[in-house]
Amino acid sequence: MDPYRSCPCGSGKKYKFCCRDRDRAVLQDADRSSLEGFESVQ
């Protein structure tokens, strides 16, 4: 997603200055969760 487009949350702010950090944190948590599950299988 282009960081300078309007944020899809409807705040009127640019995505870069609104929800981008929150979205990144959610993706990082999901990646950690998937890695934790992978480690427990081995």
Q: Is 24 exposed, middle or buried (0-12, 13-18, 19+ CB in 10 A)?
A: exposed
Using one digit for the tens of pLDDT, what is the confidence trace for 5-40? 999 999 999 999 999 999 999 888 888 777 666 555
Q: Which residues sit opposite 14 in a β-bridge?
A: 6
Whole-model pTM: value is 0.62
Reference 18, options 35, 33, 4, 39; nearest CA is 4
State the pLDDT at residue 29: 86
